[in-house]
Amino acid sequence: MSKTVTSSEARDNFGVLLRQASEENEEVVVTIRQRPTAVIISYAEYQELLQLRQMQKRLAAMEKLRAIRQRVQQRISEDDLTPEHAYKLAGFSDEATKNIIENDRQLEMG
């Protein structure tokens, strides 16, 4: 549940609003000149938000890697390169190449 207050109300009732956010899990939207400007939320909700952002960044990075992997695999099939050679051409170390190929095999197996 959320509640909306002006910045003046937030200033005058800050302690009450903090308690509502932390103890009652109420989100408080603070407006300036009738425009939403900030939100007061509990620390637990803030931590959850940070975790969600981190997960979103990881998913985006994994999607980029997946797209790169598909392009590499397409080039491999077009040029008859081995995966090992393709990763080495991309600048990966021997150890990284070995780990990536092993991970690819595990993904292919299910």
Spans of all domains in the chain: 2-41, 55-109
User: pTM of the predicted model, to two decimals?
Assistant: 0.57
* C-alpha span between 99 and 109 (Å, rounded): 15
The token pair at 29 is 């939207």
pLDDT tens-digit series, residues 1-36: 789 999 999 999 999 999 999 999 999 999 999 999
Order of all β-strands in the sheet with 27-32: 2-6, 27-32, 35-40
Fold category of 2-41 in CATH: YefM-like fold (3.40.1620)
| b (16+ CB within 10 A) / e for 33-53 | eeeeeeebbbeeeeeeeeeee
The two most distant CA atoms of the chain are separated, in Å, by: 71
On whether the CB atoms of residues 53 and 29 are closer than 8 A, the answer is no
